[in-house]
Structure 1
Amino acid sequence: MKLHVLLTSLLLAAAAFPASAQPSASRQLREAAAIRALLSGKYVGYSLPGWADTDIWEGFEANGTWTGTLLGRGPVPFSGRWKIDSERICVLPDQEGSVATWFSGWRCRIVWIDENTGRLSMEYLDPRRASFGALLLEIRDFPARVQVR
């Protein structure tokens, strides 16, 4: 009897608030200048769902240099170039790097922003595993560079 009451309550609640009526807090960033301002000079990191101790950090330097590290069984560094194209952030890996085996040419990804929190998200770097969907980003400034005199 209790199970029947619980199921009925859940069904009524679901009918009162259908998923399609719930507003989405995330929207695609469509302004190239906004994407550049939010990511240029920053490191962005994200974790892969279901992968213990696997993170990726990508750095987007203001001069168009792209660097990063896949952290898993050991650090796997990568590098290349980045740009904003058609409202997406695009990266081109150096040919001798490990990421060049994941994709050839430019890899472009949509950037989303959560309108409630301001947090950014984007797809995983490896397009063969793009089924992860939007991954929440942790964003950090590049450390200050020490100049030797």
Structure 2
Amino acid sequence: MNKLILFNENTHPESWRINDPSCTLSTSKKKELIFFDKEHSKKLWHNCISKKYTHLLLLNESQIKIRHSETLDFTNPKKGELFFKNHLKNATLVIFFWGPLCSCLAPAKTVSKHWNDFFLPSDENSITYIPNTNKIIFSFEERFFAGTIKK
């Protein structure tokens, strides 16, 4: 458990997850994350996820094609790690969104290994986006979906 506060939660509202003492990322892994401010996050969401919607659950099958879904156990992160490794296998970096106003650039390997530090069971608007591919991973409660954003 690492108690070091690295990110300003006023500027990056969802960074509390990474600052939280229960976060399993080492300080060196936390330093690899690049948080975007609200305006940049909003532009990224607009360009990568949706120009029209600000909430993931408003997107429908005309905007997202789901290729695979699986229930992951937040108390058993190893199983989830395999899911993420499989769907992020060709990615080096991903953009992780906690909605349209908070996002970060993160190594795909870090998101794979520590997926349960990025996602929470109560999330409805978190999404991993693989740049230049339109591939995404998102969740609803403990159900995770891998798919593609249709542009």
Q: Which interval holds the TM-score relative to the shorter structure?
A: under 0.3
TM-score, normalised relative to structure 2 = 0.25
Richer in strand (by share): 1
Larger Rg: 1
Richer in helix (by share): 2
